[in-house]
Chain A
Amino acid sequence: MARPIRLLIVDDEKRFVETLSKRLSARGIYVEGAHSGMDAVALVQARPFDVALLDVRMPGMDGLATLREIRKYQPLLQVIMLSGTASINAAVEGMRLGAVEYLLKPASLDDVLPKIEEAARRKLLMEEQQGPGRPTGI
C-alpha cells in the first residue's frame, strides 16, 4: 500500500506552520509541525519523516543546530532550509551539514511543493535499498 510523503515543518512562526500545513495536507502530504528546534528533535526521535522544512532563525536552538541534531537520528531525512535570511553564510553552512536546498521566504506553494516532492523522491531512491513502501504523489 502506498503511503503519503511524511513532512515535518519547523518554524517558530505558528501561523506560518498552520497555514502551510493546511495547504500541503490538502495536497495529500502528511504534515506535522514543530515550533522550535527542540520540538523538532523530539519528533524526529519519535517517528520517521521523509522531508523536513526547517527555518533558520529561531529562538533557542537555531535551524543549523537543529539540522545537525535531527540528522543524527534520521540521516536519510531530506532537509530543505526555508529561511527569511538571505545569508550566504547560513546557506552554505546548511549545505555543508547536508541540507538539499536553501529556499528563501516568502516562497509560494508552487516553489516549495516541487522541492518537497523532489526531496521525497531522493529519499525514496536511497531507501530502495531497504525496500520500504513507495510514497504516492511523487
Chain B
Amino acid sequence: MRIQRFLRRLFGPNRWVPLAARPDAKAALYLQYLAFKDLISSNDEILQVIADMEQVLDGTTTFGMAFIRSRCVTAASHTYRMIQTLNTLSDRRYSELFLRFADIRRSVENILDRARPKLKGPLVLPLGSLSLAQLDLVGGKSANLGEMKSRAGLPVPEGFAVTTDACLELLEANQLGDEIRARLLGLDANDMESASAVSQSIRSLILGAALPPRIGGSLREGFSALESILGRPLRVAVRSSAVGEDGDLSFAGQYVSVLNVTEDALASAYKEVIAGLYTPTAIRYRAIRGIPDEDTPMGVACLAMVEAVASGVACSVDPNHPEAGRMVINGSWGLGLATVEGSVSPDSWTVRKGDDLAFLSLTLGSKETSAEPMAHGGIDTVPVPPRLRKSYCLTGDQARELARLILEVERHYGVPQEVEWALGRDGRFMLLQARPLHLCALGGGQEPAPAQVDGHRLLIEGASACAGFASGPAVLSLSPEDVHDFPLGGVLVARHSHPRYVQVMDRAAAIVTDVGAPTGHMASLSREFGIPAVLDTHGATSTIATGDIVTVDGSRGAVYEGRVDSLLGAKNTAVPRRMAGTPVFGILEEVSRHVVALTLTDPKSAEFRASSCKSFHDIARFVHEKAFEEMFRLSDTVSYGQMRSLPLRARLPFTVHVIDLGGGLLPEAGAREIGIEDVTSVPLKALLAGMTDPALNWWTPRALSVKGFASVTAQALFTPVVEHGERSLGDRSYAIAADAYCNFSSRIGYHFAAVDAYCADSMGGNYISFRFKGGAADEARRVNRCLLIGRVLNRVDFQVECHRDLVNARLRKFGREPTLERLALLGRLIVATRQLDMRLHDTAAVDWFVDAFFKGNYMFDPDFDPASVHEEA
C-alpha cells in the first residue's frame, strides 16, 4: 500500500536507519513532516539566492565571479534537494524534473566554464615577431610593444614575451587553479581589507609554487638569445602583460614590474609578476570593472633594460583639453617609476601638435628623487642633486624629438595614446609602453579659477587630471594603505597620487593630491573612472582637513570650500551603474536566465508542468506547489484517522485548508470542514487568532488613491492577481499542523507568504520563521510593503532582512507565551498589509503605517481614533 511504499523509500539502502524505523502510520507522518520541512527550507535557500542575484542585477553593486559561482552552487544543490524530496513524497512521480534539472544545470555550468582559459601553445616569443594579433597569447603590453617594433618601426628595446600559456602551465602544474578560486570565494568585492587578506594568501601560493622545467628552460633560452643579440652582459625589465591590460581598460599601475633583473633572478621575478595578478588593488580593480579573474591570464614582457638618464610619460593629446591641439610630456631624472607612480613633481612640456612643435608651456618640476639601477640588480631611490633638480631633464631639441615619436605612435594607432618613454645614456629614446589614452568625458574650462564662486572660498589650485565637478566630505590619506574605510561619496585628499588609490575609485566623488602629474597612472585611472581630479596642488593635505565639505572643479583644477551648488548644477546624483555592461555582469545576466527567471506563475495553466521548467526558480516554484498537492493526496489516502485535510471555516480573506499531521486538530473535529475551535496546534491557533482579529475589519472596502489603483491594475494585466476579492476562488492557502508545529503557506502568482513555527513549553526549540516575497503592485510599492513588514517585525524582536521585495524574519528561543503573542501579531500583519501595496507609493510614509499598525489602526485610516482600541504589545 501507498504508506508502506513511502516508508520503504525513506528507509531504503541510502536512507534512514532501520533501527529508527517503526513502519507504522505515526512514523510515516513524522517522516513526511520532516521531508516537507526539508523541502520548505530548500525553497527558502533558493529564494534567498534569487533575491541576492536580483539585488546585484541593478548594476550598482560591485561583485565578482566568486559571487556568481557561490550563488549558482547553492541554487543548484537546493533545487536538486527539492526534486529529491518531492519524488520521495510522491512515489517518484516527478522524475522528469531530474532531466529538466540536468539540462538547466548544464547550461549554467557551460556559462561559468566559458570564463576559464584554455592552453594554446608556445611559452616564449621574441618581441620583434609580435603584433596586436597575438594579444590573447602574450597580453596587452607585449602585443603593443611588438606592434610598435615590428609594424611601426619605432624604437622599442629588444626583448621577448612570455606567453599567457606559461602562466596557465605554472598554475596547472601546481594545481593552483582550484585553490585560487577557492580562496577568491573569501573575497568580499566591496571590502578592501578582505582584498588584502585574499591577496596575501594567493600571492604566497604562487610565489611558493615550483616553476615547471619547461618554463624555466624557456626563460633561460629567451635570456640567452637576447644576450647574443645585444652582445653584452644583460639585465632585463620583467613587466606584467596581462590580457586586457593596456586596452580599453588600462589597468594602469595595477600590476607588477621588476626592473634590473639578472639571469639568476629571472625565475623568481617571473613568479613575482605572475603573483602580481593578485595584488589587492588588482583584485579590487577587476572587481570594480567587472572583469572575471579567469579573463586576465598574465603574460610577461622581458625587455632589455634601458639605462635611462631620464624617463617619463607622454600623452599625445592633452587629456583635459582634447580639442586644444596639443600634447603633454612629463619627465624626470632616472628610471620612470617616480613619474608614473606620481611620487615626484615632474618637468612638463606642453607642445603644439603642428609642424613647428612649439612649446606652449614649460614647467620645471621639483624632482626630489630618482630611481637608479644597482650594480647587483634591483633599484634604489636616491636624492637628485640640487643642481639637477633645477634643470630640465630634456633639452628643447630632445623634447621635440620625443614629441615627433609620440606623434608617430598616435598616427600608427589612429587614436590618442599614452606612452612611457626613456632616454638612454647613448642619447637615444626608447618607447617602453603605449596604450589608448582615456580622455575626460566633460570638456574642461580654459580660464583660471576665480578666488570665489557664489561666496565659496577657493581653497587651493592644482593641475587638472580629470574634468568634472563633485562635492563631498574630505578624507585625508597619507598613503594608499590607510583608506580601508573610505566612505562612499568622500573626496580623497592625498599626499601623493598613486595607482593603488584605484581601490577607492568606486567610492570617491573626487580626488585631490599634493603631488602628482596629470599624465601619471592614477590620473589615467581617474579619467577611466570619470572621477574629477586635481593633482599637484602643493599643499591640499595641509589646507583641507578630514570632514571638511569641499567642491572639486576638475576642469579648472580648483577646490572650493563647502558645497557649491552652482557648479554642481544638475549633476546626476544617482548611484552609477558601474557594473552594468562589464563581462562579469554579462555572465550574471546570462546565468540568471537559468536561475532567477520565473515563467511558471499560474498553477492552473496547462503549461504548469515539469517539462515547462526553464530555470531553477521554475523548478522550485513547481516543486513547492506539487509538494502541497502531495501532502493533500497522501492525507486523502491515509485512513488511520491521524492525518486529515480539511477546509477551515473562518472569517479570512483567503481559503485555508489544514492538514493535520497528528495532534493539530481535535480528534472529534468535523469530517467535512473545521472551525478555529477545532484547531489544537498551538502555533496555528495563535496565528489564526491574529488573522481573524475583528479589529482587522478587512471586509470593509478601503480608500485607494487613483494612482495606486491604476498601478495595480496595470500590473494585473501581466500577473494573475486574486487577492482583491473577499474570497479567492480556486487558490488555497495551506496550513500544515502538528501539536507544537505549523507551516502556513500562501502563494498566488508572484506573491508568496510563509510562516513556519514551532512552539512548545521549553523555549530552546521555539522559533518563528516568516518569509514574504512579491505582491501585485509595481516594484517601488512592493519594496515599501516589505519595508513596512520588516520594520513592524523588527520592533517585536524578529531578526529581519529585507532585500527589495523579499522579507526574511526569524525569531528564536523565546518562551511559549511571547512566541504565541508574536504569532498572533504576525497573523494580524499578514491580513492588514494584504492590500496595502496600493497605498505605499511613498517610502517616507512607511513609518506612519508602522505606527498605525502598532496603534491597532489596521485599516490605516488617517482619521483613526486611537482611544478606540488597545495598542499592540
Partner of A91, one of B76, B764, B765: B76
| Cβ–Cβ contact A129 & B27, under 8 A | yes
Contacts of B311 in A (CB 8 A): none
User: Which residue of chain B has the shortest Cβ distance to A86 in the bound complex?
Assistant: B69
Min CB distance, A27 to chain B, in Å? Answer: 13
Bound CA–CA A105/B74 (angstroms): 13
Contacts of A87 in B (CB 8 A): 73
Contact code string B589-616 (vs A, CB < 8 Å = 1, else 0)? 0000000000000000000000000000
Q: CB of A118 within 8 A of chain B?
A: yes
Q: CB of A122 within 8 A of chain B?
A: yes
Q: CB of A6 within 8 A of chain B?
A: no
The segment from A14-22, A29-37, A38-46, A130-138 that touches chain B is A130-138
Contact code string A43-79 (vs B, CB < 8 Å = 1, else 0)? 0000000000000010000000000000100111000
| Cβ–Cβ contact B84 & A86, under 8 A | no
Partner of B22, one of A100, A106, A129: A129
| Cβ–Cβ contact A105 & B80, under 8 A | no
Contacts of B73 in A (CB 8 A): 86-88, 91, 102, 104
Bound CA–CA A89/B76 (angstroms): 9
Contacts of A24 in B (CB 8 A): none
Contacts of B78 in A (CB 8 A): 95
User: Which residue of chain A has the shortest Cβ distance to B767 in the bound complex?
Assistant: A121
- Interface centre among A84, A89, A96, by most B CB within 10 Å? A84
Which residues in chain B, 763-782, are within 8 Å of chain A measured between CB atoms? 764-765
Min CB distance, B764 to chain A, in Å? Answer: 6
Knowing A92-B105, A126-B16, A129-B20, the reply to whether A86 touches B76 (Cβ < 8 A) is no
Bound CA–CA A34/B30 (angstroms): 33
Bound CA–CA A92/B83 (angstroms): 11
The segment from B180-188, B432-440, B631-639, B667-675 that touches chain A is B180-188
Bound CA–CA A74/B66 (angstroms): 34
- Interface centre among B20, B34, B179, by most A CB within 10 Å? B20
Bound CA–CA A23/B16 (angstroms): 30
Bound CA–CA A97/B109 (angstroms): 21
Q: What is the interface size of chain B, counting residues whose CB is below 8 A from a CB of the partner?
A: 41
Contacts of B80 in A (CB 8 A): 92, 95-96
| Cβ–Cβ contact B185 & A104, under 8 A | yes
Partner of B17, one of A76, A95, A106: A76
Q: CB of B542 within 8 A of chain A?
A: no
Q: CB of B108 within 8 A of chain A?
A: yes
Contact code string B38-72 (vs A, CB < 8 Å = 1, else 0)? 10010000000000000000000000001001101
Contact code string B69-108 (vs A, CB < 8 Å = 1, else 0)? 1101110111011001000000000000000000001001
Which residues in chain A, 93-122, are within 8 Å of chain B measured between CB atoms? 94-98, 100-102, 104-106, 118, 121-122
| Cβ–Cβ contact B178 & A85, under 8 A | yes
| Cβ–Cβ contact B77 & A94, under 8 A | yes
Min CB distance, A82 to chain B, in Å? Answer: 12
Q: CB of B361 within 8 A of chain A?
A: no
Contacts of A137 in B (CB 8 A): 764
Q: CB of B14 within 8 A of chain A?
A: yes
Bound CA–CA A98/B70 (angstroms): 20
Contacts of B81 in A (CB 8 A): 95
Min CB distance, A17 to chain B, in Å? Answer: 17
Knowing A125-B34, A129-B27, the reply to whether A105 touches B182 (Cβ < 8 A) is yes
Bound CA–CA A18/B73 (angstroms): 27
Contacts of B38 in A (CB 8 A): 100, 122
Contacts of B69 in A (CB 8 A): 86
Bound CA–CA A105/B132 (angstroms): 40
Contacts of A92 in B (CB 8 A): 76-77, 80, 105
User: Which residue of chain B has the shortest Cβ distance to A118 in the bound complex?
Assistant: B41
| Cβ–Cβ contact B182 & A121, under 8 A | no
Bound CA–CA A106/B197 (angstroms): 12
User: Which residue of chain A has the shortest Cβ distance to B67 in the bound complex?
Assistant: A86
Knowing A85-B182, A92-B105, A137-B764, the reply to whether A102 touches B74 (Cβ < 8 A) is yes
Min CB distance, A109 to chain B, in Å? Answer: 15
| Cβ–Cβ contact A129 & B178, under 8 A | no
| Cβ–Cβ contact B105 & A138, under 8 A | no
Contact code string B10-40 (vs A, CB < 8 Å = 1, else 0)? 0000111101111000110010011001100
| Cβ–Cβ contact A127 & B20, under 8 A | yes
User: Which residue of chain B has the shortest Cβ distance to A90 in the bound complex?
Assistant: B73
User: Which residue of chain B has the shortest Cβ distance to A97 in the bound complex?
Assistant: B14
Knowing A76-B17, A136-B764, A138-B764, the reply to whether A84 touches B84 (Cβ < 8 A) is no
Bound CA–CA A100/B41 (angstroms): 10
Min CB distance, B100 to chain A, in Å? Answer: 14
Knowing A91-B77, A125-B30, A126-B34, the reply to whether A98 touches B14 (Cβ < 8 A) is yes
| Cβ–Cβ contact B185 & A88, under 8 A | no
User: Which residue of chain B has the shortest Cβ distance to A100 in the bound complex?
Assistant: B38
Knowing A75-B16, A105-B185, A130-B19, the reply to whether A88 touches B76 (Cβ < 8 A) is yes
Bound CA–CA A126/B31 (angstroms): 8
Bound CA–CA A91/B75 (angstroms): 10
Contacts of B33 in A (CB 8 A): 125
Bound CA–CA A125/B760 (angstroms): 14
| Cβ–Cβ contact B76 & A84, under 8 A | no
Min CB distance, A50 to chain B, in Å? Answer: 13
Min CB distance, A114 to chain B, in Å? Answer: 9
User: Which residue of chain A has the shortest Cβ distance to B66 in the bound complex?
Assistant: A86
Min CB distance, B19 to chain A, in Å? Answer: 7
Contacts of A121 in B (CB 8 A): 765
Knowing A92-B77, A95-B84, the reply to whether A104 touches B764 (Cβ < 8 A) is no
Bound CA–CA A105/B184 (angstroms): 10
Bound CA–CA A125/B738 (angstroms): 13
3 closest cross-chain pairs (CB), A and B:
A84-B182, A91-B77, A86-B69
Can you list 8 residue pairs at the A/B interface with Cβ under 8 Å?
Answer: A71-B14, A76-B17, A84-B183, A88-B77, A89-B109, A118-B41, A122-B34, A138-B764
- Mark A residues whose CB is within 8 Å of B: 57, 71, 74-76, 84-89, 91-92, 94-98, 100-102, 104-106, 118, 121-122, 125-130, 136-138
- Beyond A86-B70, A88-B77: 11 further Cβ-contacts under 8 Å? A85-B178, A85-B181, A86-B72, A86-B185, A91-B77, A96-B84, A104-B70, A105-B182, A118-B41, A129-B21, A129-B22
